[in-house]
Copies of this chain bind each other. A is one copy, B any other.
Amino acid sequence: MNEVIVPQRELNEECGIIGIKSKQKKALAYDIYFGLFALQHRGQESAGIAVSYEKRKIYYFKKMGLVSDVFEEETLNAFPDGDCAIGHVRYSTTGSSNVVNAQPVVFYGRFGRMAIAHNGNIINCDSLKSAMMKKGHVFQSSIDSEVIASLINLNSETCLLDGIIKTCSELEGAYSLVIMADDKLVAVRDRHGLKPLVIGKRGDDIVFASETCALDSLNAEFIRDIKPGEIVTVDENNNMTSTFMPNIERHSCIFEYVYLARSDSSIDGRSVYDMRYDCGKYLAELYKIEADVVAGVPDSAIVAARAYSEMTGIPLVDALSKNRYVGRTFIQPSQSLRENGVRVKLNAIKNNINGKRLVLIDDSIVRGTTSKKIIKLLRDSGAKEVHMLIASPIVKYPCFFGVDMDSRDKLIGGYRSEEEICEIIGADSLHYLPIEYLIKAAKGNRCEYCAACFDGNYPIEVDKYNCGKFVLEI
């Protein structure tokens, strides 16, 4: 009778990156390790650390698994002290769990050893790779980072920075990079600023990271966001200089605020927590619902639900309890057990919803399967009505810049209206936040954001490129 509730995380960010440059040699592997912990939500499939310890010598270790599984104490202790280090966590969309696809990518070229960590997706990667292969180069993995690394090396005729600048002019797509080479640490953000990247300081140490929460974990002070198209170089004496690419047009990913980033981070000067709060506030402005209680889907939509409650006066309750121990190794129940009904990951708190008309707020709906199961669970637990509010617009288009969303027809909103979606998921009513309110919550101008997953306006002409496995359907 009852349905199974075993929700999967529906969206996957490709990566989290971090880099540290110090004046003296120290146990930087530990710093990177703690930083990667703070970025774990950006990728759970593999983790890696590379430390530069002698003139052009790099020690690195990477493996499939969570940061805590990959790095045991003896693994960390085996790292030499160093003055420069980078780290990476990755979520892979390829299904290939081969460690050859893990990062950082470490290679040896004409300027000695280099290491690179990448967050994003290069959409002209195949053509760049083909061109290099025609010249006789070989590749050992299927990841963009290896192409970027090889290209930087090939383009670095006199010095590395020239190579990076020239390479950036060839790359199309989303990329935030940290590159360790030639006694320097370089951080790069693509000309659209699609993926976040920030600068922090801890004493004399300079830290680059995908999100500010990684700076906090190291007790580093947040200095500023790296600007779209900016290349920041920290030299051997920890002097920091900036160069800019041509043709800069900011289009930061709005979905970082909606779902991807941690709520205690801030991106491009805007607190993720505050932005999510404002989304809830705008939902309250737009949608007055006759209801007894309001609740958020844990964890990311709780903030918006609180805002909604505060604005409307409808009491906030916890409707769902999340099991903190259900991780990646969780065994799926077989069909017979599913029918028997198993609610392992989420449970309803019956007393709070029994006989109540409920407003349920979620951050977004991608495939819709989880929403459907949650609504059924809440009804089975006594909710009289379930009105769903989504703190972002309908996801209608796939992302080509590093978020693992399916093709348009797999998206529940790909070709459907609010009403049609409402019927499928079984809600009493369903409303989405219009895009102008989302942008307003992010405190920016519409033109500064990439909201292509909502409106199809890709900042890059994606139909010019063979975009991976995705075929564009606009």
Contacts and interface: CB of A to CB of B under 8 A. Distances in A.
A213 interface: yes
Given A38-B323, A340-B219, A331 B71 contact: yes
Nearest to A263: B321
Nearest to A331: B73
B343 A138 contact: no
A34 interface: yes
A342 B73 contact: no
A327 B66 CA distance: 11
Given A213-B321, A315-B310, A331 B264 contact: no
Interface string A317-348: 01001011111011101101100111110011
A72 B329 CA distance: 8
Interface in A56-80: 66-69, 71-73, 76
A277 to B, nearest CB: 9
A316 B306 contact: yes
A38 B271 CA distance: 34
Contacts of A30: 333-334, 337
A218 B342 contact: yes
What interface size band does chain A fall in?
35 or more
8 contacts: A31-B337, A34-B344, A69-B329, A107-B139, A108-B138, A109-B133, A218-B340, A299-B324
Given A41-B325, A137-B153, A219-B343, 16 more contacts: A34-B344, A40-B323, A72-B329, A105-B140, A106-B140, A109-B137, A110-B136, A138-B149, A216-B348, A217-B343, A217-B344, A217-B347, A262-B321, A263-B321, A264-B348, A299-B324
A281 to B, nearest CB: 13
A31 B339 CA distance: 12
Interface string A32-58: 011001101100100000000000000
Residue from A138, A150, A274 having most chain B Cβ neighbours under 10 A? A138
The 6 closest A-B pairs by CB, nearest first: A219-B341, A264-B321, A136-B154, A40-B325, A109-B138, A107-B138
A218 B348 CA distance: 13
A134 B111 CA distance: 9
A416 interface: no
Contacts of A340: 31, 202, 218-219
> Which applies to chain A's interface (DSSP): helix, strand, loop or mixed?
mixed
A366 interface: no
A303 B318 contact: yes
A41 B324 contact: yes
Contacts of A154: 136
Nearest to A316: B306
A325 B68 contact: yes
A210 B154 CA distance: 37
Contacts of A134: 110
B33 A331 contact: yes
B136 A347 contact: no
Contacts of A137: 109, 136-137, 153
Residue from A264, A323, A329 having most chain B Cβ neighbours under 10 A? A264
Contacts of A351: 266, 271, 273-274
A93 interface: no
B273 A330 contact: no
A264 B348 CA distance: 7
A371 interface: no
B108 A139 contact: yes
Contacts of A202: 340
A18 to B, nearest CB: 13
Given A316-B306, A347-B213, A219 B2 contact: yes
Contacts of A318: 263, 273, 303
Contacts of A316: 306
A349 interface: yes
A45 B165 CA distance: 42
Contacts of A329: 68-69, 72
A343 B216 contact: yes
